[in-house]
Structures are given as C-alpha cells and as structure tokens.
C-alpha cells in the first residue's frame, strides 16, 4: 500500500514525547498510530489502542503518559515497553501492542509499512465521541 512517507523528525517525537498520525489499513479501516521515543531505535510506532480494552493510549489533551520507558494505559495503569510494545503488569499483562513499520533515516521518521496508507497527521476524529475515554483508575497525571 504505502511506499515510504516522511512523517516527522526524531527530534520532534523526542521533544513532544509522542507524535500521532492516522493510517488506512487493508480492510479500509482508519487507525491511529503513535510514534514514541525508543532508546534502541530512536522511535517506534504502535497502534493507539490498549490491548486489554478499546482504550486510546495517546490523548489529544495530554499526549502519551510515560513512566520508566513505558507507555501507561490511562484506564487501568498497564505499562507497555516503548521499544518492544510488551506489557508485564496489570490487565494487559502478557500482551504486545500492534506495531506499524517505520524507518529512521538521517533524523527523519518514515512510514514504511506496506499494510497501511498514510492519511494525515493527528488522530481520527471520525470516531470521536465527546465523552472521552472512561477510567476506573485512580491514577492522576
């Protein structure tokens, strides 16, 4: 589907803590994808959904909450490793976020996943409900 599409710079992802974009998959479904810093590769790309429940990990108002190199689910507090996508705690334990292939070249991040097409920077507002994600957590950020 896609060849190589420049998304942003590694510096932008590091400065902002994450960078959100929307793709269309082979089933003609829009998916939000987030770029997050990773010490091993510069950045990694993950579908913006907790594996435990349909819960966005990146939110427009706060971006991505991270702790000790992990992405924190705002609903139950499960923490996904930013580099591997794996989770070892909470309700999402023993699962891994869905990855999207990106390549870092000369400080720029490129979408290189043949299974998706880049649509736009930012989230997919077509499925927004104004209520926002629910939370049973007592975590505050």
Per-residue pLDDT of the chain (141 residues; tens, 9 = 90+): 557 999 999 999 999 999 999 999 999 999 999 999 999 999 999 999 999 988 999 998 889 999 988 999 999 999 999 999 999 999 999 999 999 999 999 999 999 999 999 999 999 876 554 344 444 444 444
Torsion sign, CA atoms 58, 64, 69, 75: negative
Q: Does domain 5-119 have CATH number 2.102.10.10?
A: yes
Q: What is the pLDDT of residue 126?
A: 61
With contact defined as beta carbons under 8 Å apart, do 20 and 48 qualify?
Answer: yes
Domain ranges within the chain, ordered by starting residue: 5-119
């Amino acid at each position: 589907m896609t060849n190589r599409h420049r998304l942003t710079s590694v510096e932008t992802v590091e400065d902002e803590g994450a960078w959100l974009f929307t793709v269309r998959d082979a089933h003609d479904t829009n998916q939000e994808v987030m770029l997050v810093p990773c010490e091993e590769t510069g950045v990694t790309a993950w579908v913006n959904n907790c594996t435990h429940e349909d819960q966005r990990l990146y939110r427009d108002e706060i971006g991505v909450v991270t702790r000790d190199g992990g992405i924190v689910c705002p609903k139950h507090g499960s923490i996904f490793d930013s580099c591997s996508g794996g989770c070892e705690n909470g309700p999402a334990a023993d699962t891994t976020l869905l990855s999207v292939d990106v390549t870092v070249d000369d400080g720029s991040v490129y979408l290189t996943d043949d299974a998706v097409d880049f649509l736009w920077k930012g989230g997919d507002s077509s499925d927004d409900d104004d209520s926002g994600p629910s939370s049973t957590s007592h975590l505050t950020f």
